[in-house]
Chains A and B, each alone.
Chain A
């Protein structure tokens, strides 16, 4: 681990920071199958296991489908369980993701965002996690290494909260965040232990004195009730996320909340964007602000559940919004974030004009000039009250 010249800070890549957070959390079980660009997490964490720095049972499995299956079995046995993956790995877990959430197992997974094949590509976009957006997992997106590190602790608390009991996914951008070294502030081991506490499962398959069944068949007389319970838990996760994030802020001084609003309060035009590209867009905001342009940015952190009321509240005064998706829904209409944001704004009497822009697929660079270009289009829509092109690829 690189100790940097910055006082109190440690230089870590996103992957090493997540592995370090996992070491501090010390989960009972970690079934893993490495895949680029999340391999570093598994590599580093397996060293911690080999060195005896954690008590974790590391299970090396033969595929990601098996990794998630082992997570499910271990979590049903009452263990605190974590894993990490990317891209095709998350796609191969897909069937099991629904089983984890339907069984209400609070597994915590780090997804290092990477494009899905074909064509095969190892670089960043959000097609992997967005493909899992309806799988019943909580999804938290991270702009920086610091935020990814912090999010992992909060994810454990939100997932295991008695009003929630759902698995959670922390997402960060492949290579951009996972491999870039950033100076971050680490939390002490004792403080982490105190914050995440001990996982007390309601049931355990290993409790032979109280035999239980997980995964039983349910028929039309009960299935919908279980799904309704799950849906209510997902709704409750929003309030729990606010509460846990506030507690985290009080304890460690970094306040996050449901989303990050940058120079938004007096803006007329804004970009809504996830993860690391928000940083690039903020530079563009500052440049345009210097020219007197009233622009701002909103970066959702919690995407599942989608905090539509709060996001509507933060965007309602705007004249125009461009929602930038690093993934295409292939619906010939707009990206997934665009559709959620636009739908959230529908109930307003007077609503901003909204456009969808697809950028950065397969790791294509998104530069300040690209953000400025997008802002110019939103400013034009704000001035004219008209969206010229509803959906468009940029950074082509």
Chain B
């Protein structure tokens, strides 16, 4: 777990576990839970965006209407993207995390 709060932070955790503002999930790295890591072969990918729709963690990065990779700070390695990428294309592979 990479997010252990420091002593100073601990004293300032908002009472009752309230999250006092929006968008904080982005700053909370959960990628450390991952066992398998996805990689994409862009020579096969058609940018159909099925993986982007199906990823439960919004971890598919899209820029200018193109699938360009994975947000590994939040990807849990579930492999849904690899299964959902159309069979004829199979652009995503899941591998043991090397990092």
Chain A interface (Cβ < 8 Å from any Cβ of B): 102-105, 165, 202-203, 210-216, 218-222, 225-226, 229, 233
B3 contacts A by Cβ under 8 Å: yes
Interfacial chain A residues near B17, Cβ < 8 Å: 102-103, 214-216, 218, 222, 226
Q: Is the interface of B mostly helix, strand, loop or mixed?
A: loop
Q: Is the interface of A mostly helix, strand, loop or mixed?
A: loop
Chain B interface (Cβ < 8 Å from any Cβ of A): 1, 3-5, 10, 13, 15-22
CB distance from B14 to the nearest CB of A (A): 8
**Do A221 and B4 contact each other (CB < 8 Å), given the known contacts A102-B16, A104-B15, A214-B16?**
yes
Interfacial chain B residues near A203, Cβ < 8 Å: 18, 20
CB distance from A210 to the nearest CB of B (A): 7
Q: Does A165 contact B5, Cβ atoms closer than 8 Å? A: no
By beta carbon, the residue of chain A nearest B1 is A221
Total contacts A-B at CB 8 Å: 52
**Do A221 and B3 contact each other (CB < 8 Å), given the known contacts A226-B13, A229-B13?**
yes
Q: Does A225 contact B13, Cβ atoms closer than 8 Å? A: yes
CA distance A225 to B18 in the complex (A): 13
By beta carbon, the residue of chain B nearest A213 is B19
Q: Does A216 contact B19, Cβ atoms closer than 8 Å? A: yes
Q: Does B1 contact A219, Cβ atoms closer than 8 Å? A: yes
Q: Does A214 contact B18, Cβ atoms closer than 8 Å? A: yes
CA distance A212 to B21 in the complex (A): 5
Q: A103-B16, A214-B18 are in contact. List 18 more A-B contacts (CB 8 A).
A: A102-B16, A104-B15, A104-B18, A210-B20, A211-B21, A211-B22, A212-B20, A212-B22, A213-B18, A213-B19, A215-B17, A216-B17, A220-B1, A221-B4, A221-B5, A222-B5, A226-B16, A233-B15
